[in-house]
Every structure is written in C-alpha cells, then in structure tokens.
Chain A
Amino acid sequence: MSEERNELNRNLAQMLKGGVIMDVTNVEQARIAQEAGAVAVMALERVPADIRKEGGVARMSDPKMIKEIKAAVTIPVMAKARIGHIVEAQILEALGIDYIDESEVLTPADDMFHLDKRAFSIPFVCGARNLGEALRRIGEGAAMIRTKGEAGTGNVVEAVRHMRTMMSEIRRLQNLPKEERMTFAKEIGAPFELVEEVAELGKLPVVNFAAGGIATPADAALMMQLGSEGVFVGSGIFKSQNPAKRAKAIVQATTYYNDPKIIAEVSEDLGMSMEGIELSQIAPEERMAQRGW
C-alpha cells in the first residue's frame, strides 16, 4: 500500500467520526440501520451475542450476503475477517467493500500473527485494549482503531476499561521527557516511531472508536465523553426489543453526547435492551478480547 493510499484510508475513518457503525446480518437490518442514521454498517452472519451463545468457529460471512447488503445501502459497508486470515481479507477486498474489520469476534485463523494490512489497498479497522496493541496494529497498517470491549455481552465495562487505559497511557506518554520514550515503547511493545508520533499529537494517529458491549444511548454517550471518536454497536441494536427506535436514539446520543437533556429524551421508552452478561460469568478463555497479539 502506498503512503497516499494509507492516508486516503485514514481519511475515510475521519469522515465517520461522531457517528455510529452498526452490525447487521441481512438487507432488512441494513436498511433499518441506514434509516436510523448509521454512518456505516458492518455486515456479518451472526451478531457477537449469537456467536457467544451458539459457539463453534465463527468465520467471514457469505460473500452473497455482503454483496446484497452493499447493494441495499448507500453508506459505507464493512465486513469482518478472522485475525490473520489472509484469504478472507483478499476476498473482502475483491468484493469492493469499504472497510475490513480484522476482528477478534471471529475465531482467529492465526494464533501468532495479524494480517500485513499494508499488503492491501482496502482499509482495515482493528481492535485494541491498550496503547501498545493499538500501535502494533497501526504499525501493521490499520487505518482505524476501536476498543475491543467484550463483544456480545451488552456490558460496557470492558470498552470503558480499554478506552480509559488508552487515554491514560497517551497522557502518561505526553508527560515523559524525550529520553524515556524508547523505554516506554519497549514496555508497551509498540513501534518507536509511532510512540513519538503519539507523544507529539496527544492522540492516536488514526481515528479511534469504541466497540464491545455498547447497548444503550447512555453507553454510547459515555464512550464519547471518555474520548472515543464514534461507536460501533453490535448485538445491542438487533438483540433489543425495538431495533429501529434504539438505533436512532443511539445515533442521536452519540452526536449530543454532552447534552444530558437530549440523551434523557431519546432514552425514553425504547423497550427492553438486550439481555446482558456480567463479566464474571464468562470464563477467561471465552473472552473475545483476549484474542489478538
């Protein structure tokens, strides 16, 4: 990938800022998401809550389904490839979608290595729990980062933890004298040049969204107040009682995240939210956020 292509791919993420990207599993859901004001849709076969419930190996979706969704909406379409699955990523690029999520929500195809994202022209978003993980992914060519959170739980606690961790590491880095940056880079396992860039910018060099467990308008606004530049909502919408209404409310709360009166209004009468899972009920080896290296 040329530097120019890399920049164009980062630029598309900039255009998504302040918006909501929604998981959809069919054309009808994609239309509901677009009608609610989503800035993009993530096409996948099963939302994380179902992957968690049903178990088995979770893979890239059927290209036919992705093409149908692409044809049904005008907003950008994203789809997930397994961590390290070079060919799934090649297939998604060949389909001409707009973004690939190299995602821990699917079962990893490689337990050692992520994709060399610079080998592609299409942009990638990757999950991260902390600054080191984010910068390793950006080093590999990711054009956008999201927190991992814990997908399919409807429990925002892990997304909060990951966003707070990243923000506090960035603040710490900014306050370090220059001679301490190399050791900092070594400690967090990140490329030195990117550590330098973050120290100067005071933020990641790419757009940073929140994902994993966001289920309510208040959750979305919370992530925005913590410094997220937008949100992904997976199971939270289509596993709730009234997806269209909830989707619209989450979009509105993401834009007006600093306005409690508006968030209160849009949070009214949304029906049942998705059933959540307390994190202590999930065995460590079943946590999706642990996938990725």
Chain B
Amino acid sequence: MNNVTIGILALQGSVIEHRSRLEQIAGVTVVEVKKTEEIDRVDGIILPGGESTTIGKLLREFGLFAPLKARIEAGMPVWGTCAGLILLAKEIVNEPAPHLAVMDIAVRRNAYGSQLDSFATRAAIPEVAKEEIPLVFIRAPWIERVGQDVTVLCRVDGQIVAARQGNMLATSFHPELTADLSFHGYFVNMVQESRGN
C-alpha cells in the first residue's frame, strides 16, 4: 500500500468526523482544505456533510470552485456525503443552478422532509462491505435520476442513496457519523488505485 493524502473540504460541516474516521486507516495523511493551494496537495478529496448552499457559496467566494472542479474532471477521486453529494450533482431538482456539476445525477434536496424525518437504518452494500452497515440520514437528499455511466450502489425504500461514477462517489447518508469504516476504506482504495497502486 502506498501512502495517500486525502483532503477534506473544511469550509463548514462534518469535517472533524471525517478526519477522525480517516485517521483510523493506515497510510492516510489528512489535510483540511480551505485554500486553493491545499487542493494541489491532495490525492483525493471528501466533500463533507453540512449546508450545501453555504459550502457552495464559500467555494465560489474564495476561488476554490474552479481548481476543485478542474481536478475532479481530471480524475481526482472525490466523495461527497449529503451536502457533498449535492455539490457534485449536475442537476438539483427544483433549483435553477447546480454547483460543481461534475457527476451525472439529479439530486432532490431535503427529500425526506424536516429534521423530524431524519432516520437511521442498515443496508447491505456488496460493492463496499460484506456485512450490513449503519446508514444515517440527516435532512438527507436522494438521487432521483442517474446517467448511464453511473453505478447505483444502494437503494433504501426504492430511492437511490449511494452511487459511483468513475472517480466520483456520492452518498446521501453520513458514514462519518458512525463507527463503521467501510466507506472510508472503500474511498481510500479508490484514491490508492488512482495513484497507480
């Protein structure tokens, strides 16, 4: 295994949760990304949970938007959880403009409703883990449509909640809020493979 450097976009949201999960995996150096120069230092990046409107604005206001989009389009592995998934989507249902618009998915924000509709469940995701893993949905989005190059990884009650398109991974739930490391391990593998392990 070669060592990899994984960034976490650290403008707002569940940054330390992702950090503490990644730090439990050997061979991973974690960098919190707030400045453009930090984007150049990472082999892969996590877009955490939080408020997508807030993170999307800060990305644009501080010049991170274009370099981040360019690196993802050039093949850098990226994983968006919840708000991060919304940032990746090419289409946000009922909203005029997407954010990074790199992943061929249409996402519905707050699809389940308000905080009273937040929930936890378990599911088997064969691509990621052998056993069922816990899934935590907080005012979560779901993926309404996927393009033909997108692989659906998980559905809950018929709705798509995890998908992958090449170097891009998206989950509407928050693996960073659980003790299970399957998804973080899966993403670290994606980053290692992209480095030509």
Interface residues of A (CB under 8 A from B): 4, 7-9, 11-12, 14-19, 34, 37-40, 74-76, 93, 96-99, 121-123, 251-252, 255-256, 262
Contact = CB atoms under 8 A, between A and B. Distances in A.
B51 A122 contact: no
Contacts of B12: 17-19, 39, 255
B14 interface: yes
A172 B53 CA distance: 39
B53 A74 contact: yes
B67 interface: no
22 contacts: A7-B120, A8-B138, A9-B115, A9-B118, A12-B115, A12-B138, A12-B139, A15-B82, A15-B83, A16-B50, A17-B12, A17-B14, A19-B51, A39-B54, A74-B53, A75-B53, A97-B114, A98-B115, A123-B115, A251-B54, A255-B12, A256-B62
A38 B52 CA distance: 11
Given A17-B12, A39-B50, A98-B115, 6 more contacts: A17-B14, A37-B53, A39-B51, A97-B115, A255-B34, A256-B34
Contacts of A262: 62
B54 A98 contact: no
B39 to A, nearest CB: 16
B57 interface: yes
A266 to B, nearest CB: 9
Contacts of B118: 8-9, 11-12
B119 interface: yes
B116 A121 contact: yes
B50 A15 contact: yes
Contact of A11 (B16, B34, B113, B138): B138
A76 B83 CA distance: 13
Given A9-B115, A96-B116, A14 B53 contact: no
Listed from nearest, the 3 A-B pairs whose CB atoms lie closest are A98-B115, A18-B12, A39-B51
Contacts of A37: 53-54, 57-58
B99 interface: no
B138 A18 contact: no
Interface string B104-139: 000001100111101110000000000000001011
B174 A18 contact: no
A4 B177 CA distance: 12
